[in-house]
Chain A
Amino acid sequence: MLEWISAMNFTAPWAFSLAAVVPALVLAYLRKTKLTRDTVSSVLILKALKQHPRKKRKFKPPLRFFIEVLALLCLLLAVASPFITDRAEHTAILLDTSLSMKAGGATENRFQLAQKNLIKWVEDAESDAVYTLFVTAPTFKQIGPERISSAHVLNLASKITASLSPDSLDASLQELESTGRFERILLISDKAREDQSPFESTTRSYQPSGTEIVSLRVGAQVPNVYIAGARITANTAPTSTGDDASQLALIDIGLSDSTARDVPVSLFQHPNGPQGPKEILSKQTLRVTPDGLSSAKFPLPAELPQASTLSVELGVGTEKNALDDDDRAWLELSRSGATPILLVTPHPELSSGLESLPHLALETASPEQFQLKRPESLSRFRLLIFYGTSPSVLPNSASLFILPPQGNQLFPIRSEPTLPVITSWSENHPITTYLNVPLIRPERALVFQVPYWAQGVMNVEPGPIVVTGETEGFRYAAVGLDLLPFQGGKAPTESVLLLNFLGWLTNQQALSLGHVPGSSLELTGDSNWVILQPDGELSQLESTADQAASFQFETPGIYRVTEISGKTKDSLSKTARIISVNVFLPQESSTFQVMSFQVAPALTRENIIPSSSKPLWPQLVMAVLLLLLAEQVLRFVPQSKLKEQVP
């Protein structure tokens, strides 16, 4: 009992000051009980009774008085919001299960090393500590029940394997820290905190907000060669040998190492589909350097059937190659191809990062060239991106306006604040999906006046810096942040924001967010869907106008998504969408470098009841109600009456 009381804390201890009103209530009660005036026929007999002068009278309050005082005290206690904190130390274990954790060492990969470190750490910890286990990929989620023992957590951890997906370690860590549920977060990862020495492998703990974060960094530098991207593109530059192939398979290859090497690259055809045998189409050796990506180009024979499944493999083996999951990629010839996008900017060099995005057929044009284009020629572009420029009227295509110029008519600039800080954003908007907005710290931002058909999505102090809307059947967005060039993993938050824009503006038709294992495809509209997976299995889904269907890609390969039946007249196209899912994760594949993660700014932890604590106010409120009920019952119980009879 004493232990229970000593574990009690209060959210609003100021409520106890209200107890000063109790003496006043007692006084009022005393006065009330004494002064009922009653006229009687005669005090002759009453006078003879033993009288009780007010001063000498003993205060004998009835039971109802004590019940009322007790109810009042319970109410005061409930207002003070007591809670009991579980004394046992509660640790959240966050295991990095991203692709990079599969990087192999001589005898074991990073994830196996992480599991060993976890075992040692848990065994060295206090025996009565409790844990909750989380993984970071394919999605951040809890594994097993809350508050489990060390034996249980080790059992669960032994059954987990690293995934083929990337993770957002920053967001996972911030989410854990913000709950306030844990005294400690144990992070086991091959990534290091941004201000930490990348090769430091010892335990570091920091307490930015009261929760201790212990980081166990595992894994040594290991070289790796990987495929960063693969696409079919038009052959706009025939080779000097006179190859007149109309299409090329363009393969981007990255090297995470200190020195360049020659990498054999082979292109295969799968005449009987992805599950059938493969036939080599072409092979070449590419000199790959550590800085940037090197591209292998494979002219595609004209006689290739329309619906052809192709695959690319790197012939590097396991020597000096930490991961083999990123050494293969899938291509589909009959795909409608990458989404045609036109970038209109006076700075064509800004297109560099966008060109590397899969499923994107990017063309660039200067503002002057854009003005010369005929409207009919623009209709083939699924999306127009205007950087630093703006037409005078809204185009008849979905459009993204990045840093439009002062004086533009479409999204007038209201102000350009110095040291802008993002203060609020719409959490339910597709633009902010998967986005850790607090990590966006722009050096420059434009604040817009919002058109009547649009809404602000992301705001700094003076106003919105991201505006989106839909009018005349097309979607438009304006962003006052510099999102180009697309830097991918080097600026992950800005990259996710740009990809969100591309996805929302094109209605996810061909541009999917991260077609990597672990990512999901959202199917919208009132329709039934069938998805043919790489292993030949079929999945059926149903989406409605109010609720989209979601499908998660688990393995690399070619997925065919077909809309079987539209329920409304304006259903989407009935042709199958071909989605290639590949392990194109340059950041995860760069196992020779150490990725970093950020810890978000400290949260205000005042008046936050740790969720491991048990609030007591519901029980106290129930006690108050029961006491008041008892008091009311006693009011109606008649006072005892004299039974003596006059002789």
Chain B
Amino acid sequence: MRWLARLRHGLRTLRSARRADQDLTDELQFHLDAQRDLYEAQGLSREDAATRARRDFGSPDVMAEHCRDTRHWRVWSDALRDVRSGWRAALRAPGTTLAAVATLALGIGSATAMFSVVDAVLLRPLPFATPHRLIRADQSVAAAALDVYRGEARAFTDVGLLQPQVEVNVGALAEPERLRAAVASDGVLPILGITPSVGRGFTADDLDAASTPVVLLTHHLWAQRFERRDVIGQTLRVDGIGRQIIGILPPEGLAPLTDVDLVLPAVTRGLPPAALWGSNYFQLLARLGDEVTVAAATADLRRLAPIVRDSYPWRMPDVFGAEIVAVPLLESLVGDVRQRLLVLGLAVALVLLSACANVAALVVSRAIVREREFAVRTAIGASRRRLVQQLLTETLALWCCGGVLGLGVASLALSGLQAWLPADVPRLASLSLESRALATCLGVTLVTGLGFGLLPARRMSRTDLVPFLKANDGGVATTAGRHLVIKGLVVAQLASAVVLVSGSVLLTRSLWNLTQVPPGFDAEDVLSAVLTPDQAVCADEARCESFYAQVRERLEALPQVSAVGFANGVPIDGPPNLFAIDVEGHPVPPGAPAFTASRLVVTPAYFEAIDQPVRRGRGFSAADGERTAPVILVNEAFARTFWPGQDPIGKRLRYVWQPTWRTVVGVVGDVRQAGLAEEAPLAFYLPYGQDRPRDLTVYIESSQPWPQLARELRQVVRAAHPEVPVSRVRPLRGLVDASLAGTTALLSLLSLFGGVVLLLGAIGTYGVLAGNVSARRRELGIRLALGAPARSVRQLVLLEAVRLCVVALAIGIPAAWWAAQRAEHLLFGTSSQDVLAQFTVLVVMTVAALLAAIVPASRAARVDPLRAVRDV
């Protein structure tokens, strides 16, 4: 029970420290009185007795101090007392305290939020079984190659094929729906360690084209569409084929690998060779065997490359698959985003540093005011440790307030980041503030609080006593050390601002350069939508053609529609669809890889609809069809590459697997394909009669507002055939903007941080200069009294500001240069050596410093010489 008594005693002491002290004083006084009475009884006079008693006892104050020292709760009661006195001091200057807490909250909150993002996206392991043993190959493989890998590979326990996202029609509903599906072989679910919650996964038999078509549902699709549990065995129409439902996946599904509504089996047997080896390509997933390293996996894949190559039913280039690499699954998922996130992380770290430096400078300047108090306390015997303890406790209390508020800022910042980061950042949906984030917040608070608080505390406690005990205040000399600390902190802030501003300027230039890139077409007033008729609609090619012809005629009949074109792809939105071709007159040695170019099948009005110019020859016409001569259009890049300086009209090329030569009848302009930053690929175009892909994108040029146009489009399509889904309806303008989204998001965030840090740095500079002016008041007063013009006094202050700026630039510009070099692939049309950018940064920083110096400078010029010289 002893600990209970101790606890009670401790709490009592903590709660009413003043009462406990009073009790102690009373107790010691009682002793003194009793001793005095004793001496009085022995014959001394009252005063003599009292004096003797006092002398025997010693100083009651020192005794009381010793008694207090014995308490183990001393540390806590001292800390509590320090916090209370700090709270009172804070209340006396509420504005500064509020600013300090807000600044800390901003810094700690954004650091916590950023850490949550980095943790969720980059650090947290994937939710699969032993995720670090999973790899994905960086090149796609043909469907039929699965059996080769399964039979011959030595480094893996199992191998699977996956197409993470395709779109399928799911039918028999009021509105035909377009859903996302994954296509997977039987090994994929076991590799990931996922078992269906109901039913079974795929088996090797399901991969044969001849067996019953099956499908796996994801949990949310089942919850949406079906009420009963026993959906196993029911049929679902997918792309016109009835498929038997054999299982339901658990609620997480295949996340974060892909987010789909259903899973179809990959077909690796039973189709003609062209389909198995030529047109169906998959990602290769595998689980490493025991003690197999990733390097060994890569070596094994490369060893198998010639075997796979020789299994092809036609000749493949000798170097086929020689560069294949096995990449750990997490890295293959988030590798692209890593650099962007790290840049953001650096920016946030600078914001945190800046915020802490700002508040630390504040603490030091407030402590300077109390120097005299500390000097006196040291003189009567306070230990240095006690003073450091007090300062540190007050600072930590301030930091903890900032940290608690920072949690609120963090949750705001987190939702902001989730909205702001482009949607292609993987695993973004799983962001939340949870225990790891809270622990980080606490850790960051304590570490920065101790780090930034210890420095001023130690400097303050090493006060030189003598100048303070003199009547004179001491002047500049003794406080110079303190000022140096503050100056250092302000310079650190300004240097951080330099780095961030420099990054913002470079990104702004990149963004500007990107917007200046001509995409090759005119996206104004064009609406695009994807039409995906399935087998029911397009039982044969003639029916498909007539469906599209109907749609085209009806759309052209709509008012305000100037052109309607079709194509089997979309510009800007993704990597080009490459096809292997033979170009007449450019033979390829056997075994070498064939030429590739991007292919698009278009209707004649396509070029008019998106305003892609025809530079030479002619475009397509309605006459170009199945029965006329095979014709082709190439783009300028193609013509430049293969026939520089010659007339491309009349030249011929063909698909590698078809003997038909096609003649070039015209040259069209280049169109960017994989985003604005990448050069336009070599491209050739076929007319829609001579190749008939089933899914086409329609482009409608019209001056009508697009929501209304979209409605009319759906009506038209439904009238032509009710079961054809219309998906991805959007204005073409949106595609161009979307390709800039990543850079824009990064730029806005970086500018926001840069602005905040610059503001903090400017405030810090103002503080330093103002402090400087008030410390040098006497000197300035003397100068003015001796006849110096006000202008020269102002110049003194401005020069000080410029000096701070120069030091900050000297530190910041090399740091910014280093950071820009690391992040070079985020920039476009500019680099770390961009002179204009550096110059801009210089100008911005100097202007900021001078602005911060205006008020102190004018205040310096207005110093009253008489008062300054007289006052001490």
Bind each other: no
